[in-house]
A and B are shown apart, each in its own frame.
Chain A
Amino acid sequence: MTQHHRIGGGLVDRSQSLSFTFNGRTMQGHPGDTLASALLANGVRLVGRSFKYHRPRGMFSAGPEEPNALVTLGEGARTEPNTRATMAELFNGLQAASQNHRGPLGFDLMAATDLLAPFLGAGFYYKTFMWPRAFWERVYEPLIRRAAGLGALSGQDDPGLYDKGYRHCDVLVIGAGPAGMAAALAAGRAGARVILADEDFRPGGRLLAEWHEIDGQPGADWAAAAWAELDGMEHVRLMPRCTVFGVYDHGICGAVELTAPDTPEDRPRQVMWRIYARRTVLCAGATERSLVFPGNDRPGVMLAGAVQAYANRWAVAAGRNIAVLANHDGGADLAEELRAAGLSVAAVVEAHNGQGVAATRGRLGLRGVTLGDGRRLDCDCLAVSGGWSPNIHLTCHLDSRPVWCDDIQAFVPGSVLPEGMRVAGAANGAFSLPDCLAEGQAAGRAAAEAAGHPAAAPVHRASGIAHAPAPVWRTGPEKGRAWVDLQNDVTAKDIALARREGFGAVEHLKRYTTLGMATDQGKTSNLPGLALLAGATGRSIPETGTTRYRPPYTPVSIGAFAGRERGRHFRPVRHTPAHDWAARLGASFTESGLWLRAEWFARPGETGWRDSVDREARQTRAAVGICDVSTLGKIDIRGRDALSFVDFVFCNGFASLPVGKVRYGLMLREDGLVMDDGTTARLGEHHFLMTTTTANAGPVYRHLEFVRQCLQPHWDVHLVPETDGWAQFSVAGPKSRALLSRLVDAPFDISNAGFPFMACAELTVCGGTRARLFRISFSGELAYEIAVPARYGNALGAALMEAGADLGVLAYGVEALDVMRVEKGHPSGNELNGQTGPVHLGMDRMASRRKDYVGRARLGISHVDGAEDVQLVGVRPVREGDTLWNGAHFLEPGAAATLEADQGWMSSVTHSPALGHAVGLAFIRNGAARIGERLRAVDLVRGSDVEVEIVPPHFLDPEGERLHA
């Protein structure tokens, strides 16, 4: 197929041909083309079906505002739906397909929907699909979803790379049209660090689409020269293909950059930039508006500025015989320009002089129009202009409100702008080229000066005038369907209907009719819609107001927001300092908080995880086991007031803790509920080492800094988080002392007398390696925790295994750790869930009455519903073989499973290898007084109903004899 709509001139590179396909048909274009211009060059006008009525649609614009020409690019996992053909840079091998039709594009089976249009007005589904109610989810909604829509996702992982980055500058110039170029030149020549971003792949904006001269050069040449000059400045960064989509607080802008289409696949295809700018100059230009008249949605009806751009920039005739309809004198100018380019102009229809279009014809593309006076014209393209609206979106993202300007019949930026922002050129309502250049130059100079780079700026010479539009929004008779919003199939009738049904406020109108929604956000349709609403309500447009502008300015793919943080890169993987040691021993790892931890160490012959875990727990209780507990939070506390500080953050007393001893501490929030628990060692007179749970290492440290800086600012105390600095092992079991005594250097004494339960010391091991030893136990056995600097973690693990081989040493994981702590009734994350206080945990007697501490005042007062009178107890099944389930609720025998009958819940369960049956920890109403009572543990989700007996929470060695052995 030849490019028979290609004409002379233009900014495409005819020396090269690019091959691409549309719906499987191969066509040719040139470098510099967009998919839209290349399709038009090949005579393709029909490119898609509309959202609701499946009407045939074609290219309507030549830029980011495109409502119709949404296509799917690529195939398989690289599918990119809803791409605007007008923004897609052509490359060799591009594959595009049309969307939202069943059967071929030219014969869409769903087009029958259009016949039902009289019944499908605004809000039809709210009214039509009310009965029967049960049909909504199963029948109506799936039906509507299948019938309406845009492109489809591939359903596969996107293999493309996305990245993120940060950039800083003195002056960010948004838009590289005449105003933006002038601003960037002024700021760049003054020496300011400038970023110039433009969404197009070729800079110049409307200079590429219109005929102008600047400083004696054709506009496009001037733009290329200015771009080259800026490119040569070291302190200026040019970012083509980069859309600034949002303005955020304090000079931060969000931008997404598409890389060139021939970028290799191992490079990012999109980059999300966060740009920090001291000053911003917005030169985003303006968007042309359509007019409302019957049949204005056929392929071939196109914005006048787009027809001009296709002819001048892309050397493409949008039609062979073009009619022009405008509400200003620019229509006549365009006709003259098109004729000069060798195109035939059928008529110029002047809406501002009472003329109009009453009807259009052509099933799959425009063939002719009927004018207001009844004259019938043949034409295959109708160029429409309803005036231009400044692109004020980015001025409004921080809640600045635009103001109405009668001269151009459009909203312009208000007087209050985001801090540091200036607006210049068409975005500011200055539509003539000399004004654009002058405003851009002045804004660029002022922005540079405000950023500390004063300088005189060049003055550019150019000519050109702006045509003021008449307040005419609609032509032709009231009957007949006249589209306002092409993307959402909203017609003039829908707006009248919404108003009649009480949705006459502008934000209501948007939601009731979907006017201005979806990917184009009504860039070409919002103002005509507002104008019609204003007309229907007898108010002016400024009285009617405008909907709120929110980021993003144009659609941004989710992939760009995700960047590289997806899959296993969603967050960092943290290895403990003894990770390699555990891996060598065959550990299975599990995510625990921010860490990977060994869950168990399977051995040949074991048939499931229970075998491994039971063995680990049993052998630890019989001999000695080692567990990597490096992930526990460690906070070093020093200073003359360190003791007061520790005493203030725990509810139990620390004042009597001697040097060389460890104490369990319960940390509360001010509302009296438990924040965390752990042991704190007193290593010196003014030196403590606090241990936190793995998950709370960060939050507890933040809380301690709050106490130190905000509540007790006069205290002499300093905190250093050193979780990552130490590798720490639990060494537990009756033979743990025998094992450790082989590693601890002389003359340190760890005998029961010399190093009793809850002792701590700084010493050396393995011939001089610094270490900290604590005689503490989570398992209930004679146990220690030993810490060495992180770099020795793997080595210490190996040394322990080697030294203990004849003692029957083994490594155990977090599952066996949990089994043993449940057997001992120690609370853990399931019990310290942010809804429980000391009273519920049976620890209220620990709380001191003699001192003030965080949480004192509300102790026993704060409660969460259902937790107020529960207490932590143990439960065991009456029949020993029964399984217990975490999350089960307790009921009296015979009671119905209702909220009123609820007696509490199961928080932790395990199979106890030591006892040979299941055991559980539970919060039961008034539980401490109900020891011996029988209840049912009911789990309706798993269908379990088990008789249990309430017992004390310490299942094993309740007197703690093993600890002191």
Chain B
Amino acid sequence: MMIDHPILGPRDAEEFVYLGDACLMVRPDGMAADAAEAFATYLYARENPAGRHRELWFHEQGDQSWLIVTRCTRTHAIEKVELAQDAARAGVVGQ
């Protein structure tokens, strides 16, 4: 697979480490009263879509950036690649 890095251009997926669903960026409040429950969902309840999937990749053999890659799990077609930090700052993580 090739991942079109927003800064560095197309890069082989070999350079990256995969983490998982981008919903991991939406961390519940650890101080909340229902935190244990909320974190159980955060950690263990994941969608496993056959289709569009927003997921986290770390450019370990590159610039050390975390990316959100929007990829179709059926075809591996990559629709969009964003810097995770930019998305997190803009508050558009959950989309």
Contacts and interface: CB of A to CB of B under 8 A. Distances in A.
A856 B35 contact: yes
A698 B2 CA distance: 23
Interface centre among A276, A398, A713 (most CB of B within 10 A): A713
B38 A709 contact: no
Interface stretch (A33-41, A246-254, A520-528, A549-557): A246-254
Contact of B30 (A248, A250, A708, A857): A857
A419 interface: yes
A671 B43 contact: yes
Given A250-B76, A251-B2, A671-B43, A709 B66 contact: yes
A711 B25 CA distance: 6
A852 B29 CA distance: 8
Interface residues of A, number: 27
Contacts of B78: 250
B21 to A, nearest CB: 12
Interface in A236-281: 248-252, 276
Q: Report whether over half of chain B's contact residues are helix, strand or loop; otherwise say mixed.
A: mixed
B43 A670 contact: yes
A852 B39 CA distance: 13
B95 interface: no
A248 B13 CA distance: 12
A713 B85 contact: yes
A640 interface: no
A706 B58 contact: yes
Contact of B64 (A670, A705, A853, A861): A705
B38 A702 contact: no
B39 A858 contact: yes
B39 A857 contact: yes
Interface string B66-90: 1000000001111000011100110
Contacts of A709: 65-66, 83-85, 88
B1 interface: yes
Contact of A858 (B25, B36, B65, B89): B36
Nearest to B91: A713
A713 B89 contact: yes
B2 A250 contact: yes
Contacts of A584: none
A714 interface: yes
A856 B30 CA distance: 6
Nearest to B66: A709
Nearest to B71: A249
B66 to A, nearest CB: 5
B6 to A, nearest CB: 13
Contacts of B58: 702, 705-706
A399 B74 CA distance: 9
A853 B2 contact: no
Interface string A666-707: 000011000000000000000000000000001000100110
A671 B77 CA distance: 32
Contacts of B19: 706
Contacts of B56: 706, 710
B50 interface: no
B89 A714 contact: yes
Interface centre among A251, A252, A705, A710 (most CB of B within 10 A): A710
Interface in B20-74: 24-25, 27-31, 35-36, 38-40, 42-43, 56, 58, 60, 64-66
A856 B28 CA distance: 11
Given A251-B2, A709-B88, A702 B60 contact: yes
Interface string A26-57: 00000000000000000000000000000000
Contacts of B28: 857
Interface string A707-730: 011110110000000000000000
B84 A861 contact: no
B9 to A, nearest CB: 12
Nearest to A707: B27
A249 B1 contact: yes
A430 to B, nearest CB: 27
A706 B66 contact: yes
Contacts of A249: 1-2, 76
A861 B36 contact: yes
A705 B25 CA distance: 12
Interface string A860-898: 010000000000000000000000000000000000000
Nearest to B56: A710
A398 B42 CA distance: 33
B60 A710 contact: no
Contacts of A858: 36, 39-40, 43
A42 to B, nearest CB: 48
Nearest to A862: B43
A857 B89 contact: no
A709 B86 CA distance: 8
B66 A710 contact: yes
A670 B29 CA distance: 12
A711 to B, nearest CB: 5
Contacts of A708: 85
B24 A710 contact: yes
A670 B88 contact: no
A250 B14 CA distance: 13
B55 to A, nearest CB: 12
B25 A710 contact: yes
Interface of B: 1-2, 12, 17, 19, 24-25, 27-31, 35-36, 38-40, 42-43, 56, 58, 60, 64-66, 75-78, 83-85, 88-89
25 contacts: A248-B1, A250-B78, A252-B2, A276-B2, A276-B12, A398-B75, A670-B42, A702-B17, A705-B58, A706-B19, A706-B66, A709-B85, A710-B25, A710-B56, A710-B88, A713-B84, A713-B85, A713-B88, A852-B31, A856-B35, A857-B30, A857-B35, A857-B36, A857-B39, A858-B36
Interface of A: 248-252, 276, 398-399, 419, 670-671, 698, 702, 705-706, 708-711, 713-714, 852-853, 856-858, 861
Given A249-B76, A398-B75, 16 more contacts: A250-B1, A250-B78, A251-B2, A671-B43, A708-B85, A709-B65, A709-B83, A709-B85, A710-B24, A710-B85, A710-B88, A713-B85, A852-B30, A853-B30, A857-B36, A858-B40
